[in-house]
Amino acid sequence: MDLVLFVALSLCCWTADARYVWSDKPKILGTNEILDGETVEISCFVPVDYTGGLCRLFRGDSEYPFKVMVATSYVCIFNLTSKEVLGNYVVGSTFKLRCDYRLQEYTSISSDNMLMTVSGTRPKPSLSISRRFVSPDDIIEATCIPPVSPVAYCRFYTDVYGLDRPSCSANITFRELIRFLEPSLLLPVNLSCTYDLDEVLSIRSQYSDEHLVFVVDPRQVTSSVNCSVSVSEDQLAAFEDRTLTAFGANGTTVTIRMTQRGRNLENTCNRLQTRSDSQRTAQMKRRLQ
């Protein structure tokens, strides 16, 4: 084949491939959720340097853009308040956003839809709990009390994870409190709650004040121990019972006394032998035999 003809055919193939791959479809990017009162940055990326053309932003299924700007490069950046994004939607709504670009009589196809939620917040609830010390057989009766009604449902939280409940009352077990935590004789856990006003709209409350709870596991010791727990003045006032005695196997006891000492949570126990300690001791003895 003649070299010139071969090069010409190759160029034709590359050009055809380029037409197949290239698309005038823009891309829309941005965060999918903001709080009412915040601002958001939404970017519309166009496939060519479109300086002088118009980037257009659409909400829902509307055929009319709610925001238009002149392009200066490959990307148009819309900085919008939550009110501008919402339009006629109410706080808590989730809706679609899309963009396209236009120059004189030419209009591109639209980008894919991006979901946007403008979440709302409401005043924090109060939290009531039945006990501050929890042993393996105990249950905390927790009640989340919203300042408004009705509400759709409540959520309860530990420091590590959330507990979904169908109502604003919950029985929280020892096992739920220590989930994902390393076994220990004494664990401080903070409980809090929120409420949602609507099952559809994203309107969430602020978190309630945290309630400090101590999870006591006497199964972790092989002999009786005494513990002194130091908490802040405010935390100490919440504990009606300043002393707790939990009973373990074989007559062992764990006695905890609450004291006030500064603002930082501290706890000290008399020297105790945990199960892990006893296991390590037994391993050492076997090695020495």
The percent of residues above 90 in pLDDT, for the chain, comes to 42
Looking at residue 218, its pLDDT comes to 84
In the prediction, which pLDDT does 182 show? 82
| From 16-20, 49-53, 157-161, the region with the lowest mean pLDDT | 16-20
pLDDT at 199 (0 to 100): 85
Write down the mean pLDDT value for the chain: 81
Q: Structural domains in the chain?
A: 23-120 (2.60.40.10), 123-264 (2.60.40.10)
Residue predicted with more confidence, 240 or 2: 240
pTM of the full predicted structure? 0.67
Query: Residue 274: is its pLDDT beyond 50?
Result: no
The pLDDT tens digits for 26-64 are: 999 999 999 999 999 999 998 877 778 899 999 999 999
Residue 87 has pLDDT above 70, yes or no: yes
Buried b (16+ CB within 10 A) or exposed e, 148-174: eeebebbbbbbeeeebebeebebebeb
Q: pLDDT band for position 284 (50/70/90)?
A: very low
Q: Sorting pLDDT into bands at 50, 70 and 90, what band is 262?
A: low
